[in-house]
């Protein structure tokens, strides 16, 4: 496809494109793609910013070293506001470029290796069955609070080694800290309060871990991180706490939306649901299509032009924000045949739900594993599964700075097979 070369696209995109994409953002994504791959956008409000809406340009942008993830390269006002309101999130691999990013990611990546995921599978299966056992035999329930949110939060709590009983704290912290960091007023004050709560909580956690007897060190991710920090000097305590809270937020909300968004897509496509019931070996392929078709991540995380650059036919000035629309890229007809068709057998499926390049989501193996166990078990144990309300009555929310999911997912079940 030939990209028109222009220094400035004619049509700016409204803030609501990312803050409130609604139930069906795909027609607007397609309309923008038809007018070029890169468009100016008013987000953050009043800033110089652009959004990328096609697969090819987004894929290249994910690996373009001129697009920095360091706060130091962001405009002064944004950096200062972010550090003032939520400094606890500023010292992890999400806001770092190589070689700092390589150092911060190294140990976390080792935690998600296939061998460790294989060891975790029986426990994920047990937690999944426990949650389904609590469903009524017949009737209606909201799948999000009953299953989609508690499962990944239970898993990440066990994986890290923190008590699930503190989940109300983690849920509140995740809700507040995953919002746009440039918010002002009451939202900024709440963000600062949560920032201090997180630092206080995990400073105490680290102190307890360091007080463990040498022969009684717990085998979990926080234990690994503390050993790396104290033995090899790999992390500062500030980086440890930032990494832990980042993993909690990233480790449950997006996976919960994967389960909710994927189940909604299945229930709206009964032919695909029937085929997946008949061929459970298709579950891994189906999970990839859930991620592409109605992904839980609407766009990539912070990227700022570290220098003047040209992208998709558009001049991008140094210091401009560049948003990579994963939702738009994953419906691009130049990358996917009949992209608006939901097909659990789709292959190849080069979606960007986990990003691309050096910042590819380290937790992708865990998210995939949870999704595969969740859908295989739900479909095996629930022989009758339907939406309890018309699909058009469901509300979609962009409930954080990058994620997109359902507000609720009422389902109707009849019968529950044994675990």
Whether cis (ω within 30° of 0) applies to the bond prior to 328 is no
Mean pLDDT (whole number) for 21-40: 94
Identify the residue with better confidence: 91 or 398: 91
Instruction: Tell the residue number behind the tokens 């397609």, with chain if given.
Output: 30
SS3 content of the chain, % helix, strand, coil (to 5): 55, 10, 35
Residue (of 219, 229, 299, 266) closest to 19 by Cα position: 299
DSSP code of residue 101: H
Residue 64, token pair as written in the block: 């373009």
The DSSP bridge pattern shows strands 410-414 and 138-142 to be antiparallel
Beta strands in 268-389 (DSSP E): 304-305, 309-311, 314-316, 321-324, 385-387
Mean pLDDT (whole number) for 3-29: 75
Q: What is the pLDDT of residue 115?
A: 87
112: Cα separation from own chain's centroid: 16
CATH class of the domain defined by 16-414: mainly alpha
Q: What is the pLDDT of residue 9?
A: 47
- Cα dist from 381 to 114, 281, 344, whole Å: 27, 16, 20
Torsion, Cα of 321, 326, 331, 333 (10° steps): 60
pLDDT over 50 (residue 195): yes
pLDDT over 70 (residue 4): no
pLDDT over 90 (residue 128): yes
63: Cα separation from own chain's centroid: 19
Q: How confident is the model at residue 235 (pLDDT cuts 50, 70, 90)?
A: confident
Q: What is the pLDDT of residue 11?
A: 67
Helix 237-268 and helix 221-232, axial crossing angle in degrees, nearest 10: 150
pTM assigned to the model: 0.93
Contact indicator for 45, 15 with CB cutoff of 8 Å: yes
Q: Where are the domains of the chain?
A: 16-414
- DSSP letter string over 123-151? HHHHHHHHHHHTS-SEEEEEHIIIIITHH
Q: How confident is the model at residue 348 (pLDDT cuts 50, 70, 90)?
A: very high
């Amino acid at each position: 496809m030939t990209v028109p070369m222009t220094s400035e696209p004619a049509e700016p995109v409204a803030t609501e494109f990312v803050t409130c994409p609604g139930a069906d953002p795909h027609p607007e994504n397609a309309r923008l793609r038809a007018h070029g791959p890169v468009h100016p956008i008013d987000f953050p409000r009043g800033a110089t910013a652009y959004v990328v809406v096609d697969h090819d340009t987004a894929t290249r942008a994910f690996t373009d070293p001129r697009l920095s993830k360091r706060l130091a390269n962001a405009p002064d006002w944004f950096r200062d506001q972010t550090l003032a309101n939520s400094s606890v999130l500023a010292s992890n691999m999400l806001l770092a470029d190589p070689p700092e990013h390589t150092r911060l990611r190294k140990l976390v990546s080792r935690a998600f290796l296939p061998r460790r995921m294989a060891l975790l599978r029986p426990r994920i299966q047990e937690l999944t069955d426990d949650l389904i056992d609590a469903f009524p035999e017949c009737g209606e329930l909201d799948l999000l609070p009953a299953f989609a949110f508690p499962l990944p939060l239970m898993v990440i709590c066990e994986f890290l080694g923190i008590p699930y009983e503190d989940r109300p704290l983690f849920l509140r912290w995740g809700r507040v800290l995953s919002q746009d960091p440039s918010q002002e007023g009451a939202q900024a004050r709440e963000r600062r309060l949560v920032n201090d709560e997180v630092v206080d909580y995990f400073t105490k956690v680290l102190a307890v871990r360091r007080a463990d007897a040498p022969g009684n060190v717990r085998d979990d991710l926080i234990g690994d991180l503390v050993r790396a920090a104290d033995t090899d000097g790999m992390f500062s305590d500030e980086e440890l706490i930032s990494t832990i809270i980042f993993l909690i937020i990233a480790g449950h909300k997006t996976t919960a939306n994967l389960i909710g968004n994927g189940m909604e897509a299945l229930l709206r496509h009964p032919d695909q649901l029937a085929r997946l019931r008949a061929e459970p070996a298709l579950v891994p392929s189906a999970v990839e299509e859930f991620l592409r078709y109605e992904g839980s991540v609407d766009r990539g995380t912070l990227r700022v032009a570290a220098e003047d650059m040209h992208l998709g036919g558009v001049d991008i000035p140094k210091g401009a924000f560049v948003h990579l629309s994963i939702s738009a890229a994953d419906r691009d007809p130049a990358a996917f045949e009949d992209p608006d068709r939901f097909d659990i057998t789709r292959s190849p499926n080069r979606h960007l739900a986990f990003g691309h390049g050096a910042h590819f989501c380290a937790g992708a193996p865990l998210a995939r594993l949870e999704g595969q166990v969740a859908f295989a078990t739900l479909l095996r144990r629930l022989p009758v599964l339907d939406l309890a309300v018309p699909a058009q009555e469901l509300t979609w929310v962009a409930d954080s700075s990058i994620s997109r999911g359902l507000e609720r997912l009422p389902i109707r079940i009849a019968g529950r097979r044994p675990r």
